[in-house]
Structures are given as C-alpha cells and as structure tokens.
Structure 1
Amino acid sequence: MSSHPRKGHGVAFGRDDGLAIPSDPDPITGLRFTIAVQNGGEARIDFTALRPRRLALAAARALRHLAAPGGPLGARTTVMAYAVAVPKFFAYLGECGEPVDGIGALQARHVDRFEAWLEARGLTRIHLYTLLTKVVGVLRQIAIDSPDEVSPDLRDRLRYVSAKPFQHSRPRDAYSPYVARQLRDAARDDVAAVSRRLQEKPPPDPDPVLRRMQAAVHAIIEERGLVRHSEPAFTSLYHARRRRGWPNDHLADELHGRRYLTRDDVVPFLVLLALETGLEIECCKALTVDCLQNASGGTVEIAYLKRRARGAEHKRLRVRDGGSTMPGGLIRRLIEMTAAARRYHPSESLWVYCGIGTFVAGIRHRQALVDAWTRRHGIIDDAGRPLRLLLSRLRKTHKALWYLKTEGHVARFAVGHTPEVAARHYADVPALRPLHEAAVAEAFREAVASAVMPTVLTPDQEATWRADPAHAPSLPGEHDPAMLLGGKQDVWLASCAGFHASPHGPAGAPCPLPFWGCLECPNAVITARKLPAILSFLDFIEGQRRALHAGDWAVKFGRAHARITSDVLPAFGAAIVTEARRVLAAEPVPIYLPPEARL
C-alpha cells in the first residue's frame, strides 16, 4: 500500500501487501499453563502428571486451541471441566496395559474401552456421556492439529461420541408454591432489614470507652474502606468487648455492615431477584450496573448476558419498575447499596460487597451460605424437612408460578421462548403434574356431563312433571307430557319425545337408530315403568358377553351396558330396581330384537 495515502487519492496495493505474517498460534510447549478464557478469567491447567508425555502435550495443545478466541470453549468453568475429564482418559490408558506412546498408537478400541471403563466404575449414562463428549472433543482437535498422525481407524471412531443410545437427563423441577412463598417472604424481610440497617444509624453505645473505640474503627473504615483485623483500633475494640463478655464472632461483619452489603446479604437479594424476574441464576450473577435500560410506562428492560446462548448472548427482559418489591426497583436499590463499596473497588458488576477482609465484585457464593440462610429462616420443603435450596431451580419455580397465574395459557406463558420450548421445558415439570392431572380429570367430567343422555325421571320427578306439565323439561320435538308419560309415545326402552324428530336422521323421517340407541338419545325419557324392559335387555347383553368375543361384544353392546349400569339404574336407587326385577320375574317382557342382534 502507498506509504502516505491522502484524501482524494486512490489507494494502491503492492504484491506483498496481502501476505500474512507467519506467527506461532500456540507458543506454549509445557504441560503447566494458564488459559485466558474468552468470557473473562483465567484457567490454570496442570497436566504434568499425565503419561505418556507426547500424548499429554498433544492434549494440552488441543485444549488451548479449543479455548482460543472463536473456539467452542468460552467459559472458565467449561475449560476446567475439560481439564478434569482429560486425565481420566490417561488414567484408563495407564490401566489398560497397552503401550501407547503417542497419538499414532491410539485406536478406536481405546475410546470404546474407555467408555466401558467409565461404566464399570458406576457412572450413570448421563455423567458418562458428558465425560466421553469432552474426551472425544479433545481427540478431534488433536486430529485437526496433527492430521498425519491419527490412524484411519481412530478418525472413523471420532465421528460419533457413543454407539449406545443417549439417555436424557431428568428435567430440573420447580419448587412448590408453598416453598416459593417461604423463600419470597424470607427474602423480602431480609432485603427490608438490610435497607434499614444501611439507612439507620446504630444506637450509641452506653459505655463511653467502647463508644470511643467504635468511633476510631469507623473513622478508619471511612478513610480506607475496610479495617483489618491487625489494626490496633480493631484489636483494642475486640479485646474490650471480650473483657465485657460481648460476642465477637461477627464483629467485622457488624462494623462493615453499617456501610456495605456483606456476603450474607447477597443470598436474599439473589433469591428475590431470580424469583421475581425468572432470569437464569448465572445471568443474575452477571448483571452490570447499567443493566436497566429503556424505562417506559412503569416498566424497564433488563439487559443481560446469557453466555450459553451462542450467537444470541445479549438479551433483554422487560419487567415491572417502581417500588422496591418490583424487579426494576430491586435492582435500583442494589445499585444504591453497592455505591459505597464501589468507591473503593470499582467494578461494572452489580454485585460489589464486603467479603472476608476484602471487597468482592461478582458472586462467588458457597452452598454453605445458602444453607445458612434457609436454616436461619426455618424454611422447609413440602414434606416438612429442612429445605436444601438449589438456586438453579428458582427459574423453573418462577415459570411454574407464572404458569399457574396464566392458567396454562401457552400464548401468555411463553415469555422469551417459543410455545414448544416453554411447554416442554417449563410446563412439563413434576411440580405441575397435579395441576395437569386435575385438568384432565375435570375435562373428562365435563365431557361426561355434556354427553348426549336421555332424560331419566325418578318417580318423584315424574309426579312433579305430571302435577305441573308447564314446567316439564324442554325436549326436542312437539310432545304432550301426559301422552309421553302415559305410554302413548313408547318405544321398547323409553318414551320418545320425537320419533320423527330424531337428531340422528332427517327431519320428518323415523328414527334410524336401533332400539338401544334410545340410551344415547336426548329425545328419550326413561321412567320407572320402563325399568323391566331395560333389565330384560341388560340380561340379554350380559348373556351375549359369554357368547361373543370380548372385542365384538364391546363394539356392539359396550356403550349400552355402561349407560344402563352407570347412569340409568343408579338414578332410581336399589329399592326401585329390586321392585322392577320382581315385576320382570312375574311378567317377562318380550325382547324385540332383530335376528342379526342375536348373532
């Protein structure tokens, strides 16, 4: 290119301008090294104990390439997971008894036998598959780095992870509304208590000596941000309190907690934020001080980073804004509470608080802190046992509560996901199974209630109908109640309110159904007078059960049998049915069956 390009003049390139300067993409040659991870942080890897050394060097180089800019490994935790999986493969090679001095000696059988080796050690298929995926991924990268050294047999094996079927993991469950209410109430109480602690001044100590010592310690905190345990002012206060019999277990936290958030305060804020927004817990931890954007109409957008959404990591979620119990107000309060610590420990992270003798940016909580918080509030699970809170389940809990609030309306429930993903990952969870089972049962009840059924009149209802025909039930067709109940419009199993107005045939035409179709017809009116005929037909179809194949009998008489035994006879009661059987025994009712019905 020309050495001095000027405005208005064309740029000229020479033959050598497009030549890339050769560079060594991987200058590290040892087995103890540090990887600067793409998403921040460093991963320290130590493969010095792995043998054979030549293969260990190839695996180390492959891991560095996988974690390089643009590579598939972007998070420190993922890189460290690979660093844990690779030594397991070398442990297998050391036990297999075959001499393997480098990548050229590896064959497909080594990968297959490594899978069997893991399985023999009791690993579940899910855990085994995750380890095997990482080892195969490293071997694939070695095949790319050293294509001439990999045998064709191994190259063919690296086309797939495992020949056995993949076992899907059990979906993470949500906490029940009972547990969620305990968590939300405890977190809100703690957030309010922290706000009061930072805003209110502590009452003056009645002991003038301790009051002067505390003032000296607070002056150091105001000047330097923190007071060390080795400071003379702190040790003097510590020993003075001990001489008076006062507890000193959390003295440093008490002193710094008047100005800053402490590591114990982070847990309730994190729990409440996850429950109110439904953000993934790793996204909550990665929020920054400028995450609130585009406030409008009582809402605000939370800009967050979801690293595992490759290609769409930067996302936004619109939430309610306003009071401190709303997501937007909660984040604003966090920003205010961390401002004092941010003066001494500048950071873009939303979470800046006082740890043990130092300021911390970002959340590096231990499960022990979460367990201590739930234990302090006495939070229990549905079985009454102390709850072991897993923060990763809070997103599912938020989704389950929203699902209950929207009554399962997928269009309203699927926020941030397609309806298919929302239904599969957040609606089909064990915590919502009772709701789904109740909905199915209710649907069946509604279907039965809305099914086409005849009108069944008990003797008391029949007497009421005769006494006041004007208030008789509305039935299709033109009918006279007196004629209907008097037998003028009888068919074999019922009285028919509209033999020429059947819902199963054209208007004006006779009913086309067989006689037992009355049991499924809204025109039919069944009274106690028809019970002997119905019982006679029931005896007939019970006899046919013994003569016909079970499937044929179910197709021909199953619905009629169920209607008689489940709906008609129970409506009359045992006494009336017994009397009808006595009448049937004394005067048998002819069975009006066509010949084909007897086959």
Structure 2
Amino acid sequence: MDWPRREASAVVRQLLDMTARVRAKASHITGTLFVAAAVRGDYTSEFGTWKPVSRNSFSSWLDAMGIEIKGDRHIGRLRKSVKVEKAIVTEGRISDAADDHTEEAFASHYAQGTTLRILSGRTITTAQQHWFDKALDRVDGPTVISGPEDIDQKLLEDTGLSPQEAEDLIAGQLDMGVSHCKNPYQGPFSRPGELCAVAPLRCLECRNAWILPSNLPQLLLFKRHLERLRTVLAPPAFERLWGQSWVNLLAVLDDRTPEERAQALKHIEAGQAVLDLPLAANTEFDA
C-alpha cells in the first residue's frame, strides 16, 4: 500500500492498541484475537466472544435502547453519518474527511449524502463567487459622469465622492490623462501606497477612474491610439493586452451624443487637446 497506516500489519497493531482496555476486562476469553463489547438495557457493559453473527448486532442494540429508525437497520448508516459530519467539520475537504481510507472509497461510499452534497455545492459556489468578485474588482471599469459641461462639486459628492475628492476632481488635481483618479495611490494595478504606474493606459480598466465630459477629447485620441495598435498586433495579442480597455472605451463613447463628439473633434483639430502617453506606449511586441 502507498501509506504505512494502510498496511495490514499496521491496521492490526492499531486495532490491538484500541481494544487493549476491552481485552483487559475480558481476560476469561481466550483463543481469540478480538472480543465483543456491548451495552445492556440497564447501561451496564457486557464483554464476550466476538462472533460475526451474534445477538450483539446493531439491530439488537437499537431494540435494547428503544431507538426507532427508518429504512435498513445497518450499522453502516451510522458510520456514513459520522463521515458526513466529519466532512462538514472539515468544510468539505475530502482529503481530511477520508483520513481512515482512500479518497476514492470516500467518494464511492460516503459522498452521496444530501447534506454533504449541499455542503460541497456551497463550497464550490463560494469559491467561484470569490474569484468572480476578484475579477470584477480589478476590471469593472471607471465611473462615467455624462451630462452638461458644468459639473459641480455637489453632483460629484452625490455620486459617491467625498467632499475633498470632489473638490480635487473639479480643480483638475487628479487628472490622469483620459480620466480623473479618485485615489492614484490606491490603484488595483500597483501596491497600496505607491503612485499608479500604469496611468493613463489602464485607466479605462480601473475602478478608481472617474470620466467627466471634459475628458471626451482625450478619449477620442486614446481611441485613435488603440485603433493603431489593432493594425499592428495580432487579434489574440490585442484582445489579451487591450481587449478590456477597448470594450470599456466603446461603451463610454456610445453614451456621448454625435454633437458632443463633433465638438470634441474640433478641440483636437484646433490643437486644444493632447494625449500624453508614456514613451513605451508607442512600442508593442506581438508576443
């Protein structure tokens, strides 16, 4: 066997150790390796010769104790209940619950209980929800404020910003290029406390980004940048590197009216809007 505790000799030694106290109370029984212990109706102990088929059965014990159960009166049902409870305590980890036999035996004989199935489903659902929330927390995209150009501080506060954050956004102190940033020192792409090192390239994938109407010219310039990358990168590479930004950008631009986009293009053509990107943004490797 693969584990020493599953070797026949090791199992016999463990059984001898576990039944030592019982055999000590049944010294009158000789010529046999194991003895049987039972509890009478008056809750006194009785020791005798162990026989595979005897009155000291699980059914006899149920009758003596006055316990009624539905279905087959087989002691294996009691063991299955214990195994299910052990699986519950170990939060569904089969490797821990199957500590006295193989995991395959547990899956075949004990993993069919309704309680265990519900627990396993709950564990799987919890794990899936955890990683789903992690994914959403990283790429849920920016908050977009659409409407008139005169965005005031109260409007920003009503959307969830603190008074100081709203004041900084209005003053342009948190302008990162294609968007404003709620907190550039707490971004999902950098370590907490460090200034975000991927702005403005990843602002469209960041939960801290706030896009105001005044950002429209820069968004159109960023769209031109991504369109150029689509011509030089293979589709799988572009999707892997820029797919989320592209989807979020198109969603933001779709919310703007043709008049707003035309006015933003006039600002670009007049040289009143520029997009500052890091030098590395102009070099992409298709790999």
Relative to the length of structure 2, the TM-score reads 0.50
Residue 240 of structure 2 is aligned to residue 552 of structure 1? no
CA shift, 1:395, in A, is 3.5
Q: Are 2:99 and 1:417 aligned?
A: yes
Tell whether the 8 Å contact from 1:496 to 1:523 is kept in structure 2 after alignment. Answer: yes
- Identical residues among aligned pairs (%): 16
Does the Cα contact within 8 Å between 2:178 and 2:203 map onto a contact in 1? Answer: yes
Tell me, in whole angstroms, the C-alpha distance in 2 between the residues paired with 1:518 and 1:526.
Answer: 9
In structure 2, what is the equivalent of residue 595 of structure 1? 282
Q: Does 1:579 align with 2:273?
A: no
Match for 1:399 among 83, 97, 121? 83
How far apart in 1 are the matches of 2:79 and 2:259? 66
**Mapped contact 1:485–1:495 kept (Cα < 8 A):** no
Q: CA deviation at 1:494?
A: 0.6
SS at match of 1:309: helix
Q: Provide the C-alpha distance between the structure 2 equivalents of 1:429 and 1:519, rounded to a whole number of angstroms.
A: 46
Q: What amino acid does structure 2 have at the position aligned with 1:524?
A: A
Secondary structure of 1:311 counterpart: helix
Structure 2 residues without counterparts, runs of 5 or longer:
1-7, 20-36, 60-68
Cα deviation for residue 516 of structure 1 reads: 1.5
Aligned amino acid, residue 596 of structure 1: T
> 2:41 pairs with 336, 340, 348, which one?
336
The answer to whether the 8 Å contact 2:142/2:205 transfers is no
Contact 2:178 2:215 in 1 (8 A): yes
Q: 1:333, 1:531 → 2: CA distance?
A: 84
Q: 1:548, CA displacement in angstroms?
A: 2.1
Which of residues 329, 354, 361 is equivalent to 2:55? Answer: 361
The structural deviation recorded for 1:438 is 0.8
| Residue in 2 that maps onto 1:184 | none
Q: Give the number of equivalent residue pairs.
A: 232
Native 8 Å contact 1:498 1:523 kept in 2 = yes
Correspondence list, 1:103-114, <5 A: none
Aligned to 1:435: 122
SS state at 2:79 partner: helix
TM-fit CA distance, 1:404: 2.7
- Are residue 513 (structure 1) and residue 198 (structure 2) matched? yes
Q: 1:539 to 1:335 in 2, by over 3 A?
A: farther
How far does residue 581 in structure 1 lie from its aligned partner after superposition?
Answer: 6.0
Partner of 1:8: none
* Structure whose alpha-carbon radius of gyration is higher: 1
Contact 2:92 2:123 in 1 (8 A): no
1:521-551 Cα distance to aligned partner (Å, 9 max, x none): 5653234554675476457646744652244
TM-superposed CA distance for 1:407, in Å, is 3.5
User: Out of 203, 210, 219, which is 1:525 matched to?
Assistant: 210
Give the direction of change, closer, same or farther, for the CA distance of 1:396–1:481 in structure 2 (3 Å limit).
Answer: same
> Pick from 14, 38, 41: which aligns with 1:312?
14
Which aligned pairs between 1:485-500 and structure 2 lie closer than 5 A?
485=170, 487=172, 489-497=174-182
Once the two structures are superposed, the pairs formed by residues 9-158 of structure 1 within 5 Å of their partners are none
Q: Distance in 2 between matches of 1:549 and 1:522?
A: 28
SS at match of 1:579: coil
Q: 2:154 aligns with which of 466, 469, 477?
A: 466
Distance in 1 between the 2:194 and 2:122 partners? Answer: 47
2:135 to 441, 448, 458: 448
Task: Indicate if the aligned counterparts of 2:146 and 2:256 stay in contact, CA closer than 8 A.
Answer: no
Q: CA deviation at 1:557?
A: 1.5
The one-letter amino acid of 1:552's match is: A
2:143/2:211 contact within 8 Å kept? yes
Q: What's the counterpart of residue 272 of structure 1?
A: none
CA contact (8 A) 1:544 1:553 kept: yes
Unmatched runs of 5 consecutive residues or more in structure 1:
1-305, 318-331, 353-359, 366-375, 380-387
Write the mapping of 1:533-572 to structure 2, written as runs, cut at 5 A.
Answer: 533-534=218-219, 537=222, 541=226, 544-545=229-230, 547-561=232-246, 564=248, 569=251
Q: Where do residues 233-312 of structure 1 align in structure 2 (5 Å cutoff)?
A: 309-312=11-14
1:253-305 superposed Cα distances (whole Å, 9 cap, x missing partner): xxxxxxxxxxxxxxxxxxxxxxxxxxxxxxxxxxxxxxxxxxxxxxxxxxxxx
Find the aligned partners of 2:170 and 2:58 in 1 and give their Cα distance.
82
Counterparts of 2:138 and 2:223 in 1: how far apart (Å)? 21
Distance, in Å, in 2 between the alignment partners of 1:464 and 1:407 is 51
Q: CA deviation at 1:441?
A: 1.2
Q: What is the distance in 2 between the residues matched to 1:533 and 1:389?
A: 76
Question: CA distance change for structure 1 residues 468 and 586 in 2, over 3 Å: closer, same or farther?
Answer: closer
Which structure ranks higher in relative contact order (CA pairs < 8 Å, sequence separation ≥ 6)? 2
Given that 2:153 and 2:170 are in contact with CA atoms closer than 8 Å, whether structure 1 keeps it comes out as no
Q: CA RMSD in A?
A: 5.8
